[in-house]
Structure 1
């Protein structure tokens, strides 16, 4: 389970579930008005959700279980189904049911204590977060940023600071050429164009995959006729990886927080390689982070 695949919407769901669980221990009924009544005859019985099994299971624990299902379904590499229903879909339906029950419970209650009021608010937030997470762009953003891996633990065995698109180097736009003095020019900015070209040629000989060739240089190993060369990238949210033959069934899911190697370009998509060596087509390349 990859926790970096969780979104901000999942964070809202988790927070609402925690509040809902806390509310289950609070009083369901408001304190009675005992003014003018003998204290011996004033009812002071306080009950919480754990004293009512039906309310506990249909609102409070139902909401917590719904949040667990949604978060687990998001973190799994592949969707799991129970009786033909995906875990995430079942969790959303359960969250809506908990909010629906909490609303009519507080309407029917003679007096509402902190447990009922806070439980209703938490259940409504939980249901809203579960439904809106896949729809609202702000909630679809990753909950945790994607850290760049350390040089010593770099996958695919690239040499530190040498590979094209090596994570940690200066980023450049997709398909763009390196700017003079920027990434791909080891000597940095220089006033002498002859010195800059000599430094660039030396870097290309030391690391054949150091980037796209400048004018007069040989294309790096692995570059195709159009000048494409492999580079590292990370996805902002979990995205499916489809077979290269165009089959509709995904072969893997790319998760945020992990660097993948783009080995070829197919129209607007990229042919990506996972850590275990599988290759497939990433059709949605919007918002990818280049290394």
Structure 2
């Protein structure tokens, strides 16, 4: 079960299914009858007199939500798995639209003195949300955002931008934050101190400094690629038996190599100011996991900050 594969659209689908289930127990029909001989003046969808409202509206809508969520939980393993030419989530979208169609038709007709109850109207609202979230889950940006993201269990206090607040655990010390040296201290990562080689003198053109920064980043990326290639040529060490996953941050952008072939194209990039989870150790390298669940090998672990 991969919770990271769920999106806000999937949460809306699940909530609509719960609302639809609750609506099935609420009055679907209400009878306008007064007097001691009227008896029960309301009935819900589970009453056999309303057949086939229960299977065509309520049970079909709940089944649609279940198919969509099962497809999401299986993730990429079920991307090409089909039943009669359609994936499970595609069947779920079709069932949700069919249930909404049946619910709208069930609001028509009726007899004098018999009105639709709160269960009928609540079912229509739940099915509108269900069909909309199911059909637009991969089209509307806000519904495509992940529902669960990787964050440290007990992070330190951070200032805006992801940098530790003064006096909190994880603060780099008197030298300041990553890339931001304190006054009077040597320069941080990628930021040379005043008077040092590479420091920008007053009046120096801005494009020269930008070119120097781009060249430094390119050189670091090339060094990381060469380190990954050298590691791939050597036998991969077995994972440490006493290794425990931990959170860490990098001082500069670094590439993630594929787990099975470190010499291949990078599968992602680690950037400063973001916490990543180390799930495995291979010698001096770490297997890191991104927010979307992607895992890769971080060959250069120098200067990382453990959470």
TM band (smaller chain): 0.5 to 0.7
Q: 1:64 maps to which residue?
A: 62
Q: 1:20 maps to which residue?
A: 20
Post-superposition Cα deviations, 1:122-148, rounded to whole Å, max 9, x if no partner, equal: 111111111121111111122233313
CA distance in 1, matches of 2:97, 2:273: 35
8 Å Cα contact 2:32-2:41 kept in structure 1: no
Aligned residues: 204
Residue pairs, 1:1-291, within 5 angstroms: 1-34=1-34, 38-40=35-37, 42=38, 44-52=40-48, 53-78=51-76, 79=79, 80-110=81-111, 111-148=115-152, 181-183=176-178, 189-192=182-185, 196=186, 226-228=219-221, 264=255, 272-273=257-258, 282=267, 290-291=274-275
Q: Structure 1: which 5+ residue stretches go unaligned?
A: 152-167, 171-179, 201-210, 218-222, 232-257, 265-270
- Cα offset for 1:149? 7.0
Change (3 A) 1:131 1:282: farther
Change (3 A) 1:68 1:230: farther
CA distance in 2, matches of 1:230, 1:99: 54
CA distance in 2, matches of 1:95, 1:133: 13
8 Å Cα contact 1:50-1:56 kept in structure 2: yes
Q: CA RMSD in A?
A: 4.0
TM superposition score normalised by structure 2: 0.54
Q: 1:238 maps to which residue?
A: none
Change (3 A) 1:108 1:49: same
| Higher Rg | 2
Post-superposition Cα deviations, 1:160-202, rounded to whole Å, max 9, x if no partner, equal: xxxxxxxx877xxxxxxxxx843167xx52404xxx26xx7xx
8 Å Cα contact 1:62-1:95 kept in structure 2: yes
- Cα offset for 1:272? 4.7
8 Å Cα contact 1:5-1:142 kept in structure 2: yes
Change (3 A) 1:69 1:31: same
Greater RCO, CA 8 A, separation 6+ = 1
Change (3 A) 1:66 1:190: same
CA distance in 1, matches of 2:153, 2:219: 30
- Cα offset for 1:105? 0.7
- Cα offset for 1:24? 0.7
Q: Structure 2: which 5+ residue stretches go unaligned?
A: 156-161, 165-174, 199-215, 226-246, 276-307
CA distance in 2, matches of 1:22, 1:189: 59
Post-superposition Cα deviations, 1:16-68, rounded to whole Å, max 9, x if no partner, equal: 1101000111121113232xxx532x353532211245221111111111111
Change (3 A) 1:86 1:49: same
